[in-house]
Structure 1
Amino acid sequence: MAVSLLAHDISDLCLAKPALTSLPISATVADALAALKTSDDPFLSVWDCHHHRHSPESAAAGEWHCRCVGKVCMVDVICFLCRDDNLLSPSTALNTPVSDLLPKIPTLVTHLEPSSSLLEAIDLILQGAQNLVVPIKRRHSISSRRKQQQQPKISTATTTLHNGREFCWLTQEDVVRFLLSSIGLFSPIPALSIDSLGIITTDGVLSTDYHSPAIAALGLISRSLADQTSVAVVDGDGVLIGEISPLTLASCDETAAAAIATLSAGDLMAYIDGSGPPEDLVRVVNRRLKERNLEGIVDDFIVLSSQSSSSSSDEESSLASPTTTLARSAGRYSRSASYSARMARRAEAIVCHPKSSLVAVMIQAIAHRVNYVWVVDDDSCLVGIVTFSAILKVFREYTMP
């Protein structure tokens, strides 16, 4: 029965999923930033489109071949702006091609047909694919499809047709949620502890000291975003204090780069917390920016990015004082009904015990909309992490002959 479940077409998992919000690879970082501020989707898919050369007929018809080459979110922008040279020259940074934000590992994004099996999707995830791009069925008139094919390059993010079709993300969460709905088929595996299953990753866990500079964890934040995990924040005794979550950071705006550049890891957790930045931390950020002769950096980011956006909220932000702007940035976007705002999480880490059952950890992660759960011992010291990819490996091995 479990084998037949994994034979399901992945189209079953794509029902009612929204179409990807697209950005052309020719766009700039400023274009991506402006689009992220106006989109309900926290992730933008980046597409490379060129004339179809396989046949003279398709070329004559003006057909284009498009491929998703990556995705970007606000965390990519924030981490990019945190670099020393970009802090000193924000205008140059924002005019950089958006392709500079994409990971250099092409297999992180993989295209898959709707008729592919769930087993194929799991195998791709286990091989390192973090993002599966799947066509979804929509009804479009011939004229609208032709228009999309003839005008594939867009200046701002939008949902559009590529190769005559719309696409969606198939995530690890989608797969784990689907398996959880039929968890009884895998008995007795779900009742076993994560320790006995050997799926606790202990080596190479992304972590930083509570008192260390947040900027020192910049590479870890970028890695956690690519790996769909998080950065654990621990004290000197290895006790898990909290986390710097890309999911939380994605709900901030570009001015969070100033907080990363000036605060400790522990203070950054409080700064990006869902309740908004404490006023004392806002003052600390402004003081340290001034000490580094960067006091105008916040206004520069806002003014320059607003030039690529026509929204009134951005125009208002460009007139705000640095203190007000910083307070707004970590306090979330003004689009209170947006996906980013609804998904904002506090810095408190989601944890389990080595003896927790597999199914309990799955439910925990799904309930909190994360792809991982931290593992701690009885003293709250960090033991390791359990990821969705490790969980999927268990189910994959269960069905192997």
Structure 2
Amino acid sequence: MAVTFLNRNVSDLCVGKPALKPLSASSTLTEGLAVLEKSGESQVSVWRCDHYSKNIEVEECECECLCVGKLCMVDMICYLCKCDNLDNLNKALETCVEQILPKGNVVVRHLAPNSSLLEAIDCILDGTQNLVIPIQNYISTKSRKTLSKPSSSSCKHRDGVEYCWITQEDVVRFLLNSVGVFSPMPNFSVESLNIIDRNVMTIRYHDPAISALDSLTLAHIEQTSVAVVDDHYRLIGEISPSTLAYCDENAAAAIMTLSAGDLMAYIDCGGPPEDLFELVKMRLQEKKLGAVLELMDREFSFISSSSSSASSYSSDDELGVCRNNGSGRYSSARRAEAITCYPSSSLVAVMIQALAHRASSVWVMDEDYTLIGCVTFKGILKVFRSIANARSKPHEDNSVKQ
């Protein structure tokens, strides 16, 4: 029954999915930033379309649109932190989007709608984050029109085809909704299933946040997080790409100037406390980064100087209230607190935790809060894939005997 379920068409996961709003790979970061802010999404698909030249007829063109990646604020933030890009912010923001996409990683991959769920899981285990699926049939040949070249920040797909994408979270949620099919495995502990990844990335609470830049870039690709620990390796919190994704480009300045502990407070729900905001400004002045200071003053002119907001540890923090800068994007971010479980936690409990908190990984710790490792969506999917392997072998053996 489990194998039959995993052979369902991946298009079943596309029901209700919105069509992707494409961004041309030749767009600048400034244009990409505008698209992200307008969409309110944490990421936007990046496409390379080569058939737009001199009004070529679509039916005579063999070139196709190809999704080559996705643009997220984390990509921009990590890029701005490198190579002294904050020294010349305007020039850095004119960089072509395709130049900052991860190289050598199949982050996105096209998949036919009649592909099986099992094929989708295999792609994810191979490193894919987003599966691009067509959700609309080709328009009729008679209605095809001569296409003119679009602006650099937009992209039309040939033949009017629309696409959606499926994430690792979508697949795990789909499996959870029918988890009884895989009984009794979901009740096993994550330790017994051997899916605790003990090779995790960490940074100490008082260390400069910039020292974790390479780890943060890798965590973004692998869809994990960087654990913030104390001197005894006890878990304090995390610096998560999924939280950074709802911040703005000013987070790059925070990474360059704050400690790991302060950065957690700065990015929490996308709204920096005023004292940390002022600390970043002071340190930017010391580094003579005037362009970034001007940007921060424009972006955060709304910040009140009232005494109620002067402390970074106000009653709002204690109540878990999210601050934001007035933009709907930032209020969508989850808090920067770490989501945790124990080695004895069941697989289904960890799945529910991760999905409820929109976390792509769950930290595993012992009773003393000492960090043991983490469980990722990829690790969870590996378990379901192994069940398919185990249950298909007897069937294959019987076929051979017959």
State the TM-score, normalizing by the size of structure 1. 0.86
Deviations 1:203-229 (A, max 9, x none): 2x1211111111111111111111111
Match in the other structure for 2:131: 132
Q: Does 1:346 align with 2:343?
A: no
Q: 1:151 to 1:298 in 2, by over 3 A?
A: farther
| SS of alignment partner, residue 179 of structure 1 | helix
From 212, 222, 226, the counterpart of 1:227? 222
Alignment of 1:308-387 (within 5 A): 317=298, 320=301, 332=324, 334-336=326-328, 340-387=329-376
Match in the other structure for 1:263: 258
Partner Cα separation in structure 1 for residue 143 and residue 258 of structure 2:
50
Q: 1:259 to 1:6 in 2, by over 3 A?
A: same
Q: 1:137 to 1:157 in 2, by over 3 A?
A: same
Partner Cα separation in structure 2 for residue 259 and residue 195 of structure 1:
37
Match in the other structure for 2:45: 45
Deviations 1:33-57 (A, max 9, x none): 122121122211111111399xxx9
Partner Cα separation in structure 1 for residue 272 and residue 225 of structure 2:
20
Match in the other structure for 1:280: 275
Match in the other structure for 1:184: 180
Larger deviation: 31-40 or 390-399? Answer: 31-40
Give the partner amino acid of 1:103.
Answer: P
| SS of alignment partner, residue 76 of structure 1 | helix
Give the partner amino acid of 1:126.
Answer: L
Partner Cα separation in structure 2 for residue 106 and residue 230 of structure 1:
18
| SS of alignment partner, residue 107 of structure 1 | coil
1:350 to partner: Cα distance: 0.4
Partner Cα separation in structure 2 for residue 334 and residue 223 of structure 1:
30
Q: 1:102 to 1:322 in 2, by over 3 A?
A: farther
From 243, 251, 260, the counterpart of 2:238? 243
Given that 1:253 and 1:332 are in contact with CA atoms closer than 8 Å, whether structure 2 keeps it comes out as no
Count of aligned pairs: 373
Alignment of 1:143-182 (within 5 A): 146=145, 150-151=147-148, 153-157=150-154, 160-162=156-158, 164-182=160-178
Give the partner amino acid of 2:259.
Answer: S
Given that 1:21 and 1:43 are in contact with CA atoms closer than 8 Å, whether structure 2 keeps it comes out as no
Partner Cα separation in structure 1 for residue 256 and residue 163 of structure 2:
37
1:62 to partner: Cα distance: 4.9
Q: 1:152 to 1:179 in 2, by over 3 A?
A: farther
Given that 2:121 and 2:381 are in contact with CA atoms closer than 8 Å, whether structure 1 keeps it comes out as yes
Percent of pairs identical after alignment?
52
Q: Which runs of 5+ in 2 are unaligned?
A: 311-321, 394-402
Give the partner amino acid of 1:39.
Answer: S
1:64 to partner: Cα distance: 4.2
Match in the other structure for 2:21: 21
| SS of alignment partner, residue 65 of structure 2 | strand
Q: Does 1:253 align with 2:252?
A: no
1:275 to partner: Cα distance: 7.3
State the TM-score, normalizing by the size of structure 2. 0.85
Q: 1:61 to 1:228 in 2, by over 3 A?
A: same
Given that 2:52 and 2:148 are in contact with CA atoms closer than 8 Å, whether structure 1 keeps it comes out as no
Partner Cα separation in structure 2 for residue 126 and residue 107 of structure 1:
11
Given that 1:75 and 1:249 are in contact with CA atoms closer than 8 Å, whether structure 2 keeps it comes out as yes
Partner Cα separation in structure 2 for residue 139 and residue 66 of structure 1:
13
1:387 to partner: Cα distance: 0.6
Deviations 1:121-149 (A, max 9, x none): 011111222221111126968787636xx
Given that 1:90 and 1:300 are in contact with CA atoms closer than 8 Å, whether structure 2 keeps it comes out as no
Partner Cα separation in structure 1 for residue 128 and residue 383 of structure 2:
17
